[in-house]
Structure 1
Amino acid sequence: MVAVPSGREVRWIDAISDAPGPDGLTLRFRFLVPALGAPVWQEAPERAEADMQALCDGFALPRLATVGPRPAQVVISLSDRVLPFGEVDEAAVQFFEAYSVANGACEWELF
């Protein structure tokens, strides 16, 4: 489990680095949050914002390569179920946020 401000159960699924984003090299960190489909999350998706920021700052940043190209963007995704990357499932609840990395911190970008 990965600790987040909400205290929700969050598990790391994987990191995707071979699918470029609109600005070049993009690292995607995907997380499973089984409770994401619960009404409290669907009624107020902003509850996930602090968790996603914490995942970028506390989980993704320490895992970025210290040697080699820096990603132009880090994407944090939360899903209530494990899905293959790029697969669409109408029943799945998913949240995505994009961040640039500057001065050792994740800066939220409009996604």
Structure 2
Amino acid sequence: MKLAAALLLAATPLQALDVPSGQQVDLQEVLIDQMGDETWLRFRFVAPGIARDSGTITYDVAAPDMKALCDRLAIPYAAQYALTGDVIVISLADRAVEFGAVDPSVTQFFEAYRPENDICIWEAL
């Protein structure tokens, strides 16, 4: 995996009402990653509510949040900053962690989508 670029563009944190579960999520970073012939846009969020020991948000509850973040944040963000990608990956972590770092104590959820007609189509990878 070759990391093409890291974008540390200004982003406004999303508040609890911005996702279906009501949990608070904050945009940590947006990365552009070349995966073979495809460009992946990775939107990495911190979501303390998914922590395995103290959180209350399970994967089943967070999955609609990830779809909403893709549709309502990632698609407009990519358009605003003229980013093009074949796949959009939405990740939630209970705390900020460096991309690619291995930390078994961090809870993380991931979903991948194909952007089509200004919406995100779930991609079974």
TM-score with structure 2 length normalisation? Answer: 0.78
What SS class does the counterpart of residue 49 from structure 2 fall into?
A: helix
Alignment of 1:30 onto 2:8: no
Contact 1:99 1:109 in 2 (8 A): yes
Gaps of 5+ in 2: 1-12
State the shift of 1:45 in Å: 1.4
CA contact (8 A) 2:49 2:56 kept: no
Within a 5 Å distance, the mapping from 1:61-80 to structure 2 comes to: 61-65=75-79, 70-80=84-94
Task: Specify every segment of 5 or more residues in structure 1 that has no aligned partner in the other structure, as ranges.
Answer: none
1:16 counterpart residue number = 31
Distance 1:22 1:108 in 2: 20
Is the strand fraction higher in 1 or 2?
A: 2
2:106 equivalent to 1:98: no
Give aligned pairs, total: 108
The answer (yes or no) to whether the contact 2:48–2:55 under 8 Å persists in 1 is: no
DSSP 3-state at the match of 1:62: helix
Alignment partner of 1:57: what SS? helix
Q: Whose RCO is larger (CA < 8 A, sep 6+)?
A: 1
Paired residues of 1:26 and 1:73 also in contact (CA < 8 A): yes
Identity %: 39
